[in-house]
Structure 1
């Protein structure tokens, strides 16, 4: 009990006597410990505050640290960044291109999660080339910088369009990603880079947690992967992905995220190739979370048996579109919508990092209203900008379509999230692969 709490009933003289006795006893203990080696602290963690020691301090003499509290953070992801000709034209400015206005309404989500991973569907046009959309895409070089400004930390870059403009554009795309500080996975400029997982380091609750991103694609639309650069695009293969995941853990990863370009376009359900590959990854125990893209429409989520320590592996089969010029005017109605996935990760002070839940937030594009992308629930609730051209009936129809797909999710409760998350700490460190 401290003197401050005892002062209402201890007389000053008594207090002084007690203090003197305590000091005398403490000093005697110090002298005795210093003169008798056998009485040294048996744990090696004690310290002496009397006379300075003439011996240099040893590591064993350092006081032990109290265990840190559990670290909790979020990983966010969205659908395909697929700039067709119309979004490119809308993004044109007097001095170049700017896609930021199209995505400004989604900034609270991409900047609110602790680690934001997008899917860069297309390569960049070289500086001397004219950007273009379908069928051979080449996005403006400003796009990666716009994504970084919006809070994105990295993207999957191994897709069926990676080689639309050849290996030079593939390499240039990764050069620009490096320049603006974005991570990338699924394509590479060398064998060493292909063998190196993309790592992100987060400092949370006194711990440093490392998240690895690996990725790949089902194919390249028939365009040949260069014979002298077979490593330039990673093709999906269960054994190869599992090996990458193991290498990532050997490199210090606490959590492994696989960003996979797979499935069939415009199908609302995963096909057998997706489910079989996902199950193989789950059974390996090496992958924590799978983020899928390519179908251009949302597909359900799942929690599969297996995963690290048998705790399960979380799968988002397809997050649909993010930037695109697709809706029911060209394609199926669901192409006008996408999902923002928010995964929560807990890393105990004395245990491994694990995904503990995954939520979804529908987004939609207003093609006629400046190609802008919005969180759908906000529009339905009445928070509608003046530039919006979508009717209330159309908004509700799009929301109902997403709801019907997500109702097919299996293995866990996957709730719709309507409030953007808040960062739980500083921005992640993006570790260069090259």
Structure 2
């Protein structure tokens, strides 16, 4: 049995992004996201990173510095084909407990999984599980998530509402997930220094500890808003190694050289290849990557960078601009993994089953 797992950068709807999505009666993000539709549709399991809470009912959405995203962004991620999102980030407590809960309610309404924040203690103790079935075999993937902090806020309603990075706790959660039936454990970490393409000592310390625990198969990094290296660490389940993407940059945001650094326009999608042979455990056998970028002047249209280079007439970015953004991604990722220039072939049906987060 073989399947692919797709992950991508931060979903960070700043105010100008929301204005690009605004309609007469709400918000519509599908036109902004459509440039990577083929990638999400092709993935057997697609996991996004929702960096922000959602505006509770009756509350006006807002962007930076205190985010309250329109619920429609979650709806449209689900319609695009994302199966679930990690939600642990430094902005998770921006809108208090009501905003945190509104994000999870929106994900539930979209039929998506979620992990990293919780509405009650029981939910916080449960991993997010996804079941992928092909013919007579099923592989269960557990998703865990944690963040380095909350921008000075305390976790609303208690420590259980947001998972903070604690290596011992993550390892314990991974063991509990395997005891609950997980064949593969994926961990999303919101960590690092913003706008820095190299991982911090803390990122390296945490990921090396997770690899050494032999409980985690794959680590997906977020927060820096720029691409960071993808590499394979020693350890991992069965001592077969653990792949880590230290940072996937941005998926959808308003960031660019005017506010930040040019590298914020160079996002990454990571495709992990998973194989489960008869009588053998499921393993991540390799990862590949593809570059994304956002055409801010075209109304925050998300594009696959290679596809945009091939069709520069479909946006406002010049071939030189696009080549520069691709080069930033290539330099940051390093040479441990290959670039994937076209979406992978889907392994078949049915779609993953999102297992409710209950004990």
Q: Which structure is higher in RCO with an 8 Å CA cutoff and minimum separation 6?
A: 2
Partner of 2:80: 150
| Counterpart secondary structure, 2:312 | coil
Specify which of 164, 171, 184 is matched with residue 101 of structure 2. 171
What is the CA–CA distance in structure 2 between the aligned matches of 1:177 and 1:237, rounded to whole Å? 25
TM-aligned CA deviation for residue 385 of structure 1 = 4.8
CA RMSD for the aligned pairs?
A: 1.0
Aligned residues: 357
Equivalences for 1:280-319 in 2 at 5 Å? 280-319=209-248
More strand by share: 2
Residue in 1 that maps onto 2:54: 124
Structure 1, unaligned stretches of length 5 or more?
1-70
Shift of 1:400: 1.2
- Which residue matches 2:356? 432
Is the 2:312–2:319 contact (alpha carbons within 8 Å) kept by the matching residues of 1?
no
Task: Report the equivalent of 2:340.
Answer: 417
Spell out, residue by residue over 1:190-242, the C-alpha distance to the aligned partner (whole angstroms, 9 max, x if none): 1111110000000024201100000110000001123x422000000100000
| Alignment match, 2:318 | 391
Give the TM-score, by structure 1 length: 0.81
Aligned residue in 2 for 1:379 = 308
Q: Does 1:137 align with 2:67?
A: yes
1:241-282 alpha-carbon deviations (Å, 9 max, x no partner): 000000000000000000110111000010000000000000
Q: Which residue of 2 is the match for residue 159 of structure 1?
A: 89
Partner of 1:87: 17
Q: 1:190–1:229: 8 Å Cα contact kept in structure 2?
A: no
Partner of 2:132: 202
Post-superposition offset of 1:181: 0.7
Runs of 4+ in 1 over 2 A off after TM superposition: 382-386
3-state secondary structure, aligned to 1:231: helix
SS at match of 2:144: strand
Give the TM-score normalised by structure 2. 0.98
Alignment counterpart, residue 258 of structure 2, candidates 329, 332, 342: 329
Rg (Cα) greater in structure: 1
Give how far 1:292 is off.
0.5
Q: Where does residue 400 of structure 1 map in the other structure?
A: 327
Q: Where do 5+ consecutive residues of structure 2 fail to align?
A: none
Which stretch has the larger CA shift, 352-361 or 217-226? 217-226
1:244 aligned onto 2:167: no
Give the Å deviation of 1:406: 1.7
Which whole-Å deviations, capped at 9, do the CAs of 1:338-393 have from their partners, x for residues lacking one? 0010000000111000000100000011000110010101122x22353x111111
Q: Do structure 1's residue 183 and structure 2's residue 113 form an aligned pair?
A: yes
Report if the CA contact (8 A) 1:116-1:154 is conserved.
yes
Displacement of 1:422 after TM fit?
A: 2.6
Distance of 1:235 and 1:401 partners within structure 2: 30
Looking at structure 1, the residues matched to 246 and 66 of structure 2 have their Cα atoms a distance apart, in angstroms, of: 25
Contact 2:4 2:273 in 1 (8 A): yes
Is the partner of 1:200 in helix, strand or coil? Answer: strand
| Structure 2: distance between partners of 1:402 and 1:158 | 24
